[in-house]
Chain A
């Protein structure tokens, strides 16, 4: 049947809808700047960078390994289960299996994820394991949510099959197993293949369940992307998406070329002819074709896995857990500090070390993972208040500063800060100050200078606020001159009132989204971390003029390297810390992250000062000398769980108004 014009238009509309964002990704993967809203110049650099980015390639490999393993195992187990369920005689048993099979489909991802996480963590604690989550827990989770899709694809095919078929085969002398493979499998193969493909697709794209069940040493692509939410999602990901798109498209075209005549009528005609000649009907054709497609996809996947896998595995492994996009990784001709460390270590000590570098999106995410005992890392880089909390809960190991001679270069302003008064646990990595970023083309000069700008009704709909409770409440509390660390509910209530009053003026509550919104002029006012302002300037659109000031008082923060309890290689972690403090990697990291460095080797380095420029140096390092006073006065402190829960409740209140 031919398509009518109206049908054609409608189909085109649906495809426009489905493919619009993909076209956007495709276009912006060729953008020279980092922005996803302002196209500056065409460039292939993100593709080059993608292939140099070992961590992303490993995440891709992990994603594929997981998807292939989970889909194959769930297909085998699911097919066997379908056969078993089909042969059940008792009605109530059948109904019971039906219900159980439907549970993972009827339950939202988030419940499946949480329920498995709770169980794994509980079992891990029961057996006193240092880590309860790993590749295996993720694999179990993926198989579990793929199984029902396989079963529900295969079962109907079994029901459609002539029940006499296997019996006939057995009567003809086949063993039951042989009868199954010779007579039944060809009949139900289309269902098996569809089930396999569905399982593969679901596993590949799953984020929620992986988020709750991921362990260390195994991070998948969706999780890596999610963890980029404090900094910005790198365009390498758009490049990767574009490549995936074209690979699939090529496969599709290829299989269509191979298979020229496929119309149902021709097949029927052929079948009739065969029947007329007294031959059995042939159904292998379409099966063969589907098998070829599946084989091609699986084969290609395995080749990709193998190609990426050549670089692994190495004997000693150091597990590092850091914020997303928070280390110089070799992109845009920077130094890949992790790779440099691995090389340096090999030359220095004569045997190889492998750094497993994984990322988190927030202090709280990291804490939740570590606290549950689900993971174990050798090095983490939390912020001040979280360090205080972890120290108070005995989650940190005292450092052996003898292994970290470069600690001498850390400026005195950053020693003995409240979160580590006796310098036992930490080596500062970066520090910063929250300031207000505004678009000078949209904001009048007389309104500048204080926190009031973020409450100025003149700019309703152009103001961005933090999408994390601590920083958002912070803006309101600094503005009111309140203590950001109070346990007095009334003070927090007052801050909530201020935020609720601001809510109608706020365009968006943001983390990483701030970059695109400020760069494109979509928003005019935002509070964020000073260093990120410079990242935005680099990509700002022509009609946008981003400027910056520090309101008073404001937040001061330090992110520091520490070693959590349960680490496997303390000394190696200390050597890593020391290396990261040495001049070349420290400068590279500071230039990449754009945050201020507490390391004299960095902020006194001529090249670094040149690279940053006078204005940047002035803004970033304005508070270096009296930092410890300001920090101890205004920084966030660890709050007790009762207050934290109270703030979280208030935050929810804000989000329902």
Chain B
């Protein structure tokens, strides 16, 4: 009996194994292959070297000329904006996940569905709508002006890009945290209360550690897409600065496939290392839970 079960299990895994090999692993080999070849498909380090050494002359804040490494600047700006967006998502998303998880099941279901609805409407269109809101003569500024609060210059700044990313990826933060919190045993909270914890220390010492797996997957699901986006920065950043996604897309459109692959390859390696480190630092049980 048992043997037959195992056999079935092995067969059930077969299609996925083939698929994963062909369409997950092999394509990554192609990224590496293109990253280390030139247009004649000869082996070269030039693409990788260009990423780390290409320099640009820019004008600094005080009018002085500076030599900077082009892709390092682009890369660090992407990392910075992605980290800020992730932190903002966490700060905004965590409380709402907590609130939802403690509501009645019916309210829970409704609120979660409402949070998911925006994801069903095309994100390019939604980002487009944010331009209307954040423009200097846009809805937000007209509203502030009508309250005599003055105007804010947001569009075209890094803040506008962060707003766009937070908006697009917030549901990815809320949902995994919520799904972990919804499973938390209420008795634990009561026990903590009985043992003298007030609301905040219950949150800090009981709820937060238990919800950590959700936080980790939420952070991953926000950080990864926001580090590589190229549409949001084009639209809400007024095209004033490049992120790493813009650089890859730009090289692809400029027909420099090999350099595009090189940037992608480096980004991939860095992210895989970062994720491996993150995984090591958090609980093992995290791996399975989204």
Residues of A near any B CB (own CB < 8 A)? 1, 3, 7, 10-11, 14-15, 17-22, 24-25, 28, 36-37, 77-78, 80-81, 83-88, 97-98, 100-112, 114-116, 118-119, 122, 140-141, 143-144, 147, 149, 151-153, 155-156, 159, 166-167, 170, 176-177, 180, 201, 204-205, 207-208, 212, 221-222, 225-226, 233, 237-238, 241, 244-245, 248-249, 252, 256, 262-264, 362, 364-365, 367-368, 371-372, 467, 500, 503, 506-510, 513, 516-517, 520-522, 641, 644-645, 648-649, 651-653, 655-657
Contact = CB atoms under 8 A, between A and B. Distances in A.
Interface in B25-82: 25-28, 30-31, 33-34, 54, 56-59, 68, 70, 73-74, 77
Contacts of A143: 19, 23
Contacts of B162: none
B30 A115 contact: yes
Interface in B238-273: 238-242, 245-257, 260-261, 264, 267-268, 271-272
Nearest to B140: A20
B122 A241 contact: yes
A57 to B, nearest CB: 15
A176 B8 contact: yes
Contact of B167 (A21, A152, A506, A653): A21
Interface in B199-232: 220-221, 224-225, 227-228, 230-231
Given A111-B267, A222-B122, A649 B104 contact: no
Chain A contact surface mostly: helix
A652 B106 contact: no
Contact of B238 (A141, A201, A509): A509
A653 B67 CA distance: 11
A116 B117 contact: no
- Most B-side CB within 10 Å, residue of A101, A207, A371, A652: A652
B114 interface: yes
Contacts of B249: 110
B42 to A, nearest CB: 16
B51 to A, nearest CB: 11
B129 A80 contact: no
Given A1-B104, A205-B119, A507-B238, A364 B248 contact: no
A500 B59 contact: yes
Contacts of B124: 207, 222, 225-226
29 contacts: A14-B96, A15-B114, A28-B132, A37-B137, A78-B16, A83-B9, A83-B13, A84-B14, A85-B13, A87-B9, A100-B24, A108-B224, A108-B271, A111-B267, A114-B31, A114-B248, A177-B8, A221-B122, A225-B125, A226-B231, A244-B120, A244-B121, A362-B253, A368-B255, A467-B239, A513-B238, A645-B254, A655-B246, A656-B241
Contact of B5 (A87, A108, A140): A87
Given A115-B264, A508-B240, A467 B234 contact: yes
Given A118-B261, A225-B125, A513 B24 contact: no
Contacts, number: 328
A655 B111 contact: no
A241 B137 contact: no
Given A122-B30, A170-B1, A516-B131, A653 B253 contact: no
A398 B122 CA distance: 41
A122 B26 CA distance: 12
Contact of B240 (A144, A367, A521, A655): A655
Contacts of A212: 252
A110 B228 contact: yes
B15 A166 contact: no
B54 A649 contact: yes
Contact of B264 (A110, A244, A522): A110
A222 B168 CA distance: 15
Contacts of A208: 228, 230
A517 B131 CA distance: 10
Contacts of B74: 652, 655-656
B5 A166 contact: yes
B282 interface: no
A22 to B, nearest CB: 6
A106 B224 contact: yes
B137 A207 contact: no
Q: How large is the interface on B (under 10, 10 to 19, 20 to 34, 35 or more residues)?
A: 35 or more
Closest 4 CB pairs of A and B: A84-B13, A509-B239, A108-B228, A508-B238
B121 to A, nearest CB: 5
Contacts of A641: 255
Contacts of B287: 98, 102
A510 B135 CA distance: 14
A10 B95 contact: yes
A649 B99 contact: no
Interface in B104-119: 104-107, 109-111, 113-119
A80 B240 contact: no
Interface of B: 1, 4-6, 8-16, 19-20, 23-28, 30-31, 33-34, 54, 56-59, 68, 70, 73-74, 77, 92, 95-96, 99-100, 102-107, 109-111, 113-133, 135-139, 155-156, 167, 170-171, 220-221, 224-225, 227-228, 230-231, 234-235, 238-242, 245-257, 260-261, 264, 267-268, 271-272, 275, 287-290
Contact of A520 (B6, B123, B137): B137
Contacts of A508: 155-156, 238-240
A80 B70 contact: no
Contacts of A97: 13
B168 to A, nearest CB: 9
B118 A118 contact: no
B99 A7 contact: yes
A11 B111 contact: yes
A112 B116 CA distance: 24
Contact of B139 (A24, A107, A155, A225): A24
A147 B28 CA distance: 17
B279 to A, nearest CB: 9
A343 B249 CA distance: 39
A517 B238 CA distance: 11
Contacts of B239: 467, 508-510, 655
Nearest to B226: A108
Nearest to B27: A115
Nearest to B105: A264
Which of A104, A367, A653 has the most CB atoms of chain B within a 10 A radius of its CB? A653
Nearest to B227: A108
Contacts of A241: 121-122, 125-126
A155 B100 CA distance: 24
A376 B16 CA distance: 31
A204 B118 CA distance: 12
A645 B220 CA distance: 34
